[in-house]
Structure 1
């Protein structure tokens, strides 16, 4: 075997495995299987035009040379992004640990208690620092969180008769520029009217429903907002505050001066800048809004034995339930980053955070004093970490950049300087010397930090925070390392076994793709540095865009969207802008098949479109007759069709080109959801089927790890006519000639993790990518055939083939008293995470093995499913005390002196021989979802609180 071919490391199936597998799926060769799976009229006629594959060594050498083109300056730009120090035990034990970064969203709580606890810590940290009652388990970035606050308050205004028709939303001129751009993007389709002004002189009228403030302001001034909030309350206007998380250690929490929502980013809690991301945003609010808060909430409940357990709470808010009535399309968080930020607070504790915040503030006060002593004017009267200095930017900037320092320059006569936890006395001296030399001033020597404070007494924090034991127990590295390991052991991730989640593509996240994320040449670059300082990033991002253009067959790509759902929204907004540029302002109908992912209708509504649902036929395909009727009915106002391909049911629909032509003939554009791209790459593409725009889940098909529920990247690729409308950024030029306003805060979204997908494409090359797709299809069909006769596959293509995934029907087992959930929980006893449960069809499982899994693992999974099938046969409606209904079985159960079950301990815990070789123990029994929703606890309350509840 060649040791320098990455494809042989990434793809699990060996050459010698193929004869057995092909025989099982009843084909002579792999090409025959692909022919029987894909419609011939959409097959690509020539290979992808991509460079030859690199070996892993060649790629890492290439990336090292590329990183050297990045100039890592000291950046004091601020604007919501600050250099932070990632504690080494967090970097090594979480960021670089596949036990944390390869885990999936914690839908199966019994095997996800570790990251659920870490997220509960995060939520507690946010509630404590913001002074709010409830926080979610992270969002995408600060600007999108602010937009979510605006839209959530818009939705809840309907509860107030006086406000249910109001559309005006006040935005302080102190708000970050990227946030203002994103607010504009979100406001226009919903009919929200933004009013931007000075909070100190603004007078509300009763046609406002909400307001957004920045705390501290974009250039550092810390305002006392108490009187503003009081005036807003008099008019029954809700107030959101975008707050700096570290400043809240020293400043009065917004919850204490009456805020209704507090948002921000936790980037400065140990997360690298990464040229813009990924970073975990936060969203905190009042408990009365618990059914409107976007994203996920982790809540406390109990398990079958009454022991405390954690799970995702209030699941009825998911888009799959509410569809076009959902108030947000958010389906991804930034879990890995939230875990790191929460662990940063665990490691440092309240006293450590106070030390860091005090040092940052003292450094800022020291710098301000030194510059003022030199005769310069500093205009902020109350500040935390940012000062605003009156100086000639044309003189200061060249000297600063010569010394590898970046400031921010709001105008020709002003310099904004934001300090951070990495700022040393030496750095302060360098800043003073830059001003002295550039402005011909006599310098000042800095040899110690000032102990003066420049935070007004009225806004100083007096309340305590982070008093829970978890934030006061693990301050040595030994303690933290063991705590992280304790949590990791409770989670089943890809480093233990296959996670065959349909639609979610849990493939290998190769070490060589991940390694560069840890290097400062990639990690420590501010997203708003001059682009020439980020030459390495610019080369990588442009090449990745070009590669994705080739793979999709499209003309342009934007990497800005931070999740698949954000990509959906970006694609629909580009379509909206295209129609408007043609004068077709009336085109607002979006056709969506009934089987579509739940975020599709939510995204369409957010983009200002009206959703018209089209039927699917008995084979799970789009009902072409119904689609034709709906197109005819709405042809004058047709904006778009949203279609997933292969279909959500795991089938390549042969009528796809007829469908896309029908939409184009009637003036619409076709949006293709890229969730199932792992069945397309190298064989067909969105352009070949007739689509105009697609989003790609880089955290699925292109190997970015799921990280327990994020990071995600959802770039959009577009046909030529949509290129002019790709999203822009207010600070760094990006996007098309007629760019829509921002979709996320940073110009290229989560740039740092784009290195992973760049590596995936570079190391596989055209042949490796195409072979990966073929093997993904082979693996799915192999499982389909091995389970044949015991499990019915719900949908197949015209020749009886599945695409890269399949749906098995578990509804017939209700005759034995067995639900699909019972099978999901029982799989844990066999060491597997369940496939996707009850999506897109209730009572089913959607299985997707990916190309990374080897034959032995596929066989283990099939053996487990067939063993469970035999257990189903043994069950009956009369006997609910069986191995499936009691699953999962914990170590505590099996080792307990009291065993009252009618089956053996061995059958419970070691149902097949392979299980004993590598047993994974679920840490709790089955969770009680309803109890947790009735008794909502979303912070680290003392154990007594759980008992009282």
Structure 2
């Protein structure tokens, strides 16, 4: 027997699930002889790429991790005292291992199907409760993207709520972090909002202002009493936003107690690694009266069909799909996974533990300040929490050299140095800093001793917190690791994730998030890096960015990428702002019309409105395609003012439209640019590209096509690629110089957005190689068309291409069932009894299901899902024929919980077995929904978005 000593396992064979025998069986069902024949029938020939992707040869998992470890070693992990909104922290091991590194938490989808998402909904409710308690506000959301964009959302909410419609000025404290000011500039520009940057101590607000924003503690570390400023603002009908440090609020009077209308910030220092900028969960808290205007998601308390305590996302109907261009925010993605971690961090430490961390940080800062004073330095701060400033005059270069020699980073701004301490700072660290500063002054050794006198807070008594916080039992129970482990696992067991079954969500591409792709994210060489660390310390990150930029540019056919946008909808907005800058640079300030197909994702018109554009809707034909005649007429009508077309490709209906090149040509001939929504990029990679169809800019959902996990509703990443003529307008940054001459202002707080998770997409591309990525696309299309072939006899498939093929997803029409009482939501809930998460419900067409299997699902899983849908269709037929009651049937009562099925009473006209084990495979591995069907309207009528009293969990009459 000869042996093959050159064999090396290909990662693509692990990522792409169908094997040769599965492929052949599926092709036989489709009546084609090869995958390539299917692709020829699906993807129009005129947009097919002529050459294969020019990417490096695929690496093995072992080789990739070895190479990346060498790259990671180029990053210098210095001790960071830079601060500016980013702080080193300690992620408790029990949270690191059982949440951040656990696919049971990071592969979940956004909790739109609440009955199988009760665990993460509770974890997010804990986060909201912690934010409400610490800020002193009345309501909070379940996270936003980062601190800077949360501040921008607050500004725009104030603008939308203003009573004086002529008020266009917004006061910005000069002590706001510069990256936040940069984002405010971006968001203010399209609406003509004038940012007035000044000193809150001396500035006089007047009727032309609609809002103001201050930082607490301020960017220089000082803790100011803003009570008088807030009072003055309210007398002028000006609302006040406060950017607050969450840890400091355990010691400081919360903003809600001295007049804040909105409080925003980041929860990063609650156990989330810096990660060179993210991902981190921002928070947004406000008054109850503004609950209908708050951006993002809110988790609310309600009841289920059995009057038991249940949770769901509240106020969902006000999101972009309903309000579209009237939406006040385009937010689609949150930072759910990071918010969940922060909530667990608060629960693990509890109010006493958090206060001890804050007191130690504050005490060490005072110790450092007094030590430096004793060494002859002038500390500029009087009242502070964890940050001090000094004016070093001509000593700044010497201090900097000594710090670098000792692997320490401070924050420098001319002669002013800022030193920010954090949870990881020790007494030994303070001794070393004192030694360094003393050495530079060449003072006597005995004068260089660390101050060891009585440490008394420097926070004024009027600003010292007296109110209680985190009083709910959830924050006062799980303080041992064993208790915390069991609590985390108890919540995890209530959630369905990719660990359990396929999640066939159309437009959401729930594919394999391979372990090898995830491992490097928690390496300290990536996790412990401050986003404003000096460039010569982060060569490893730059290597990853440069390679990813090059690879994504090759995949899209574009000239360059911006990796800054840290969500898909933010990528949309960024792309439109780049187009806007391009037109304005050419003197075409009047070009503000965006053509958007009626079938577009709701964030498209919302993003266009945020970019200051006027939306003109383009009709769709009966077959779902863009009405080219209508498009042409409207492009010509608005030619003088046309800015762009927003188009999704393949279409939102899951079809490769044959006319796409003609569509792009029409826009260009009328002076516009083409923005392509990259939500469906998983059907393009290696076969066609945005550039090949004629687009000028597109965003990529890295949390879809390029394998960043959905994390239960975030993190996401939405970088944009642009054609050569748009490169110079890509976003810059106020702190880190990544600017082109004509860059727009920043769109995210960190220069590369959520930098640490870019490694996941870098790994995916490196492991797959060009051929592997192209095969992934081919098999995504194969899997989708196989499912279409199996299901179309039971559910009409709404749209298909010229040859009857779908792209990577399809829309199943369920509207006819309504005539005998079955709604699409009944099918969605019944799927839970079969162990599946529902496909996308009622998008882009009401009353339908949009199904996308991805390339990562094997044939037997596709068959399991198809079997479930076919069985449900048979149940619908029984309702139609009268064999099942129109009211009391398995669909209307779904999902069925274990407590209901095993209860003493069973009054339904169908059996318990039908309810819980409708197909044989379900009995082998049953996932039980945690609650019965949730009551959305009940919760919206009486919105509760914090943890209710503990009695509520067991006494259902509290809610009934």
TM over 0.5: yes
- 1:582-661 mapped onto 2 (5 Å cutoff): 582-661=586-665
1:849 aligned to which of 840, 848, 853: 853
1:45-85 deviation digits (Å, cap 9, x = unpaired): 00011000000000110111111100000010000000010
Work out whether residues 114 and 311 of structure 2, in 8 Å CA contact, stay in contact via their aligned partners in 1. yes
1:95 aligns with 2:100: yes
Q: TM-score, normalised by structure 1?
A: 0.99
2:308 maps to 307
* Residue 31, structure 1, aligned to residue 36, structure 2: yes
| CA positional deviation for 1:632 | 1.0
Per the alignment, residue 565 of structure 2 pairs with 561
Cα distance change of structure 1 residues 778 and 375 upon mapping to structure 2, 3 Å threshold: same
Name the residue aligned to 2:473.
469
- In structure 2, the residue corresponding to 1:91 is in which secondary structure? helix
- How much has 1:18 moved relative to structure 2? 1.4
Deviation at 1:446, TM superposition (A): 3.0
1:920 aligned residue: 927
Please tell me whether residue 839 in structure 1 is matched to residue 843 in structure 2.
yes
Aligned partner of 1:64 among 48, 65, 69: 69
8 Å CA contact retained: 1:592, 1:601: yes
Check the 8 A contact 1:169/1:209 in 2, yes or no.
Answer: yes
The equivalences for 1:871-910 within 5 A come to 871-876=875-880, 879-910=886-917
The CA distance in 1 between the partners of 2:856 and 2:802, in whole Å, is 27
CA distance in 1, matches of 2:451, 2:436: 17
Contact 1:242 1:263 in 2 (8 A): yes
The partner residue of 1:4 within 6, 9, 18 is 9
Matches within 5 A, 1:419-430: 419-430=421-432
Say whether residues 1:573 and 2:577 are aligned partners: yes
For 1:694, the equivalent position in structure 2 comes to 698
In structure 2, the residue matched to 1:204 is 205
Indicate the residue corresponding to 1:187 in structure 2. 188
Maintained 8 Å contact 1:136/1:296: yes
Which residue of 2 is the match for residue 529 of structure 1? 533
Structure 2 distance, partners of 1:704, 1:442, is 54
Does the Cα contact within 8 Å between 1:671 and 1:692 map onto a contact in 2? Answer: yes
Which residue among 12, 20, 23 is the counterpart of 1:15? 20
CA contact (8 A) 2:151 2:265 kept: yes
1:483 aligns with 2:490: no
Say if 1:220 and 1:383, in contact at 8 Å, map to a contact too. yes
Q: Aligned partners of 1:68, 1:430: CA distance in 2, in Å?
A: 25
Q: Secondary structure at the match of 1:350?
A: helix
Alpha-carbon deviation of 1:206? 1.1
Structure 2 counterpart SS, 1:875: helix
**SS of 2:849's equivalent?**
strand
Name 2:435's counterpart in structure 1. Answer: 433
- In structure 2, C-alpha distance between the alignment counterparts of 1:368 and 1:442, rounded to whole Å: 18
CA contact (8 A) 1:425 1:447 kept: no
Aligned to 1:121: 126
Residue 397, structure 1, aligned to residue 397, structure 2: no
Answer yes or no: is the 8 Å Cα contact 1:894–1:905 preserved in 2. yes
Q: Residues 512-523 of structure 1 correspond to what in structure 2 (within 5 A)?
A: 512-523=516-527
**1:735 Cα deviation after fit:** 4.1
Equivalent residues in 2 for 1:766-845, closer than 5 Å: 766-845=770-849
1:698-709 aligned at under 5 Å gives the runs 698-709=702-713
- Structure 2 residue runs of 5 or longer lacking an equivalent are none
Q: Distance in 2 between matches of 1:74 and 1:300?
A: 42
Q: Structure 1: state its 5+ residue gaps.
A: none
Q: Does 1:934 align with 2:941?
A: yes
Cα distance in 1 between the residues matched to 2:333 and 2:317: 16
Residue number in structure 2 paired with 1:53 = 58
Q: Residue 792 of structure 1 aligns to a residue in which SS?
A: coil
Q: Hey, what does 1:329 align to over in structure 2?
A: 330
TM-superposed deviation, 1:864: 0.5
Residue 59 of structure 2 aligns to a residue whose secondary structure is: coil
**Stretches of 4+ aligned residues off by more than 4 angstroms:** 447-450, 943-949
Structure 2 match to 1:78: 83
Query: How far 1:947 moved relative to its partner?
Result: 4.6
The 8 Å contact of residues 371 and 451 in structure 2, kept in 1 or not, is answered as: no
Contact 2:575 2:699 in 1 (8 A): yes
Alpha-carbon distance between aligned partners in 2 of 1:439 and 1:762, rounded to the nearest angstrom:
51
Residue 164 (structure 1) shift: 2.4
Q: What are the Cα deviations for residues 504-527 of structure 1, in whole angstroms up to 9, with x where unaligned?
A: 000000000001111111100000
Check if 1:764 corresponds to 2:768: yes
**How far 1:445 sits from its partner (Å)?**
2.5
Tell whether the 8 Å contact from 1:365 to 1:450 is kept in structure 2 after alignment. no
Name the CA distance, whole Å, in 1 between partners of 2:441 and 2:764. Answer: 49
Residues 367, 451 of structure 2: 8 Å contact kept: no
| 1:789 CA drift (Å) | 1.0
User: What is residue 277 of structure 1 aligned with on the other side?
Assistant: 278
Question: CA-atom RMSD, angstroms?
Answer: 1.1
Q: Tell whether the 8 Å contact from 2:661 to 2:693 is kept in structure 1 after alignment.
A: yes
Cα distance in 1 between the residues matched to 2:451 and 2:105: 42
**Distance of 1:68 and 1:943 partners within structure 2:** 48
> For 1:604, what is the secondary structure of its paired residue?
helix
The equivalent residue for 1:356 is 357
Measure, in 1, the Cα distance between the counterparts of 2:209 and 2:443. 49
CA contact (8 A) 1:395 1:439 kept: no
1:451 Cα shift? 2.4
Contact 2:49 2:688 (8 Å CA) reproduced: yes
Contact 1:425 1:448 in 2 (8 A): no
Cα distance between partner residues in 2 of 1:449 and 1:427: 18
1:214 shift after superposition = 0.4
**What is the rounded CA distance, in whole Å, between the counterparts of 1:636 and 1:741 in structure 2?**
27
CA contact (8 A) 1:386 1:418 kept: yes
CA shift, 1:212, in A, is 0.1
Q: Is the 8 A contact 1:346 1:474 kept in 2?
A: yes
1:134 match: 139
Instruction: Provide the C-alpha distance between the structure 1 equivalents of 2:220 and 2:434, rounded to a whole number of angstroms.
Output: 19
Return the alpha-carbon distance in structure 1 between the equivalents of residues 453 and 327 of structure 2: 51
CA distance in 1, matches of 2:699, 2:865: 31
Structure 1 residue 316: Cα displacement? 1.6
